[in-house]
Amino acid sequence: MNYSTLLFLLSLVSLSLFSSNMSAQPDFKPNYDENKVPAYTLPNPLVFENGDAVKNQADWQQRRTEILQLFSSQVYGKTPSQSLDLRTKTLSTNQKVLGGKATRKEVRVFFTEQGTRPYMDILLFVPNGNNRPAPAFLGLNFYGNHTIHPDSSITLSDQWMRANEDFGIVDHRATEASRGVRVPRWPVETIIDRGYALATVYCGDIDPDKNDFQDGVHPIFYQANQQEPTNDEWGTIGAWAWGLSRALDHLQTEDAVNGDQIAVIGHSRLGKAALWAGAQDKRFAMVISNNSGCGGAALSRRAYGETVGRINHAFPHWFCDNFEQYNKNESSLPVDQHMLLALIAPRPLYVASAEEDEWADPKGEFLSAAHATPVYELLGKSGLPTTKFPPVDQPVTGTIGYHIRSGGHDINSYDWQQYLNFADQHFTTESP
Ligand code: GCU
């Protein structure tokens, strides 16, 4: 081979390397065209991996374990089974807030012996004068407990946060200007007036929302010399879900709260966490997913709006590394998100979408609830009472509730009204 042939061959090799590199660049352009949704077959929650049918409730308990393991190893990562000795400290109590209608408490839950981070602060409002312990809503928040209510005595979070100068988060820290910025998402007084307690925790207390596994609760569970979760171990959503269960541990010790009637609720990424928490922890008596979208209530196989590939690319820390195998390859997932919803059966579940929130695939969220219904029915519950996509602002409710609200990606008073109605319906007539 002469020198110029060699050069020519080398240039071909480098050209092909370059082009394969180019094609390896992620291309996650979202599809918003219903006609371009790929044909797909959903895995059947009522058929075991070995092809056997689930025939009765006892079979379902086994199938449930199988599905839970698949979500653990392939999607969210395994939650550590080791339990910790949690210590709590009451930071503040005020028995007369909201004009005397409620008691407000802040409780710090330490995850380690040292009394240093990681710890989480639970902000709790309980109605005064209920003649019974109050049913409660528990949800994580995005920017600190002090953002959900303007009261200046709520502890200002000093934990890392995603930058958002509009919300008074400067250099990743909350400033006084961030007090109350999330009030529209948390109608505290309405919740109290309806007889419910409300508990919230800043998600970053459990694990800051960044691709870093040295902070948050992950390191507590590392083996010697471990630096990050292994391929099938939990990501950030898994940690948030775990934190919700730890908050539930505490709420079940609060006399004024009915520990058997706690609804776990979350919006968007925190809705994904609420679903995963509710799927794993049967003590949550109700689960509410608000606009949770991809990796939440929406079916992955529809690949509409945000996709598995796109979410793993943009938020590599949310799921376990095994989930990346399904980037642009959703059909090989052994589960889909309707099975996550089915894990919540027979407990009441509410899934909500918003009309302009195409990124979260409203139809995929609805279909997921519809496809979870056979499991509810097997367990003697109604599931979602329709297979027809309802019109905007017309909730449908059985043991599964669904609405598509007019407007965009958000959780607002309309959403909360439906959740309060749904809780009234189930916590009075179907109390455990
Ligand atoms: C992004 C992300 C969604 C997520 C949302 C949110 O849009 O792609 O998956 O639900 O943020 O948490 O607000």
Place of tokens 């002090």: 146
Q: Specify the residue with its C-alpha closest to ligand 1, atom 13.
A: 268
Q: Nearest Cα to 241, choosing from 264, 219, 208? A: 264
Distance (angstroms) between ligand 1 centre and the Cα of 389 equals 23
311 lines ligand 1 (CB under 6 A): yes
What integer pLDDT is reported at residue 24 of this predicted model?
A: 52
CA of 253 to the centre of ligand 1 (A): 33
User: Ligand 1 pocket test: which of 75, 162, 306 has the largest number of ligand atoms within 8 Å of its C-beta?
Assistant: 306
Q: Is the distance from the beta carbon of residue 306 to the nearest atom of ligand 1 less than 6 Å?
A: yes
Output the pLDDT for position 12: 47
Pocket test for ligand 1, best of 210, 268, 310 (most atoms within 8 A of CB): 268
Q: Is the CB of 399 under 6 A from ligand 1?
A: no
Distance 431 CA to ligand 1 centre (A): 33
Pairing mode of beta strands 286-290, 349-354: parallel
- pTM of structure: 0.94
Q: Provide CB contacts within 8 A for 54, sequence distance 6+.
A: 45, 46, 47, 48, 60, 63, 378
What is the 264 CA–ligand 1 centroid distance (Å)?
Answer: 19
35 C-alpha vs ligand 1 centroid, how far in Å? 24
CA–CA distances in Å: residue 21 to residues 24, 25, 162, 172: 5, 7, 32, 35
Nearest to 417 by CA among 288, 242, 233: 288
Cβ contacts of 37 within 8 Å, gap of 6 or more: 31, 302, 303, 304
Among the listed residues 133, 64, 57, 135, the one whose alpha carbon sits nearest the alpha carbon of residue 430:
135
Helix (H) or strand (E) holding 424: helix 413-429
Q: Is 88 left (phi over 0), alpha (psi -120 to 50) or beta?
A: beta
Q: Tell me the backbone φ, ψ of residue 201, rounded to 5 degrees.
A: -140, 140
Distance CA 217, CA 219 (A): 6
Residue 269 Cβ contacting ligand 1 at under 6 Å? yes
All residues at 6 or more sequence positions from 164 whose CB lies less than 8 Å from its CB, including other chains: 143
Task: Output the pLDDT for position 27.
Answer: 77
According to DSSP, the β-strands at 102-110 and 87-97 are antiparallel
Q: Does residue 268's CB lie within 6 angstroms of at least one atom of ligand 1?
A: yes
Rounded to the nearest 5 degrees, what angle is found at the Cα of 249, between the Cα atoms of 280 and 264?
55
pLDDT at residue 13 in the model? 46
In three-state secondary structure terms, 394 is coil
Q: What is the DSSP string of 252-270?
A: TT-TTEEEEEEEEEEETHH
Question: What residue type is 218 in one-letter code?
Answer: H
Tokens read off for 286: 């109700």
What residues in the chain have per-residue pLDDT under 50? 7, 11-23, 429-432
Do you know the residue count of the chain?
432
Ligand 1: which atom is nearest the Cα of residue 291?
Answer: 10
Do the Cβ atoms of 117 and 245 come closer than 8 Å?
no
293 Cβ inside 6 Å of ligand 1: yes
Please give the number of the atom of ligand 1 that sits closest to the Cα of 409.
Answer: 13
CA dihedral 108, 173, 182, 252 (to 10 degrees): -10
Which DSSP string do the residues of 93-113 spell out, in sequence order? EEEEETTTTEEEEEEEEESST
Token pair listed for 331: 């059909």
- Nearest ligand 1 atom to alpha carbon 314: 8
pLDDT for 22 equals 43
Q: What is the pLDDT of residue 115?
A: 86
- Ordered by start, the domain boundaries in the chain are 57-426
Distance CA 343, CA 362 (A): 20
Q: Which atom of ligand 1 is nearest to the CA of 271?
A: 10
Residue whose CA is at the smallest distance from ligand 1 atom 7: 359
Distance 268 CA to ligand 1 centre (A): 6
What DSSP character marks residue 72?
I
With a 6 Å cutoff on the Cβ, whether 294 touches ligand 1 is: yes
Please tell me the distance between residue 85's alpha carbon and the centre of ligand 1 in angstroms.
33
Reply yes or no: is the peptide bond before residue 118 cis, omega within 30 of 0.
yes
Residue 428: predicted pLDDT? 79
User: Considering Cα of 263, then 268, then 273, then 276, what sign does the dihedral take?
Assistant: positive
Which are the catalytic amino acids? 268, 409
Ligand 1 pocket residue status of 365, Cβ below 6 Å: no
Render 139-163 in DSSP notation, one character per residue: EEESS-GGGSS--TTSPPP-S----
Distance 344 CA to ligand 1 centre (A): 22
Report the Cα 300 to chain-centroid distance in Å: 15
pLDDT at 4: 53
Measuring CA to CA, how many Å separate 355 from each of 362, 390, 405?
A: 7, 11, 6
Query: What is the CATH architecture of 57-426?
Result: 3-Layer(aba) Sandwich (3.40)
141 close to ligand 1 (CB < 6 Angstrom) = no
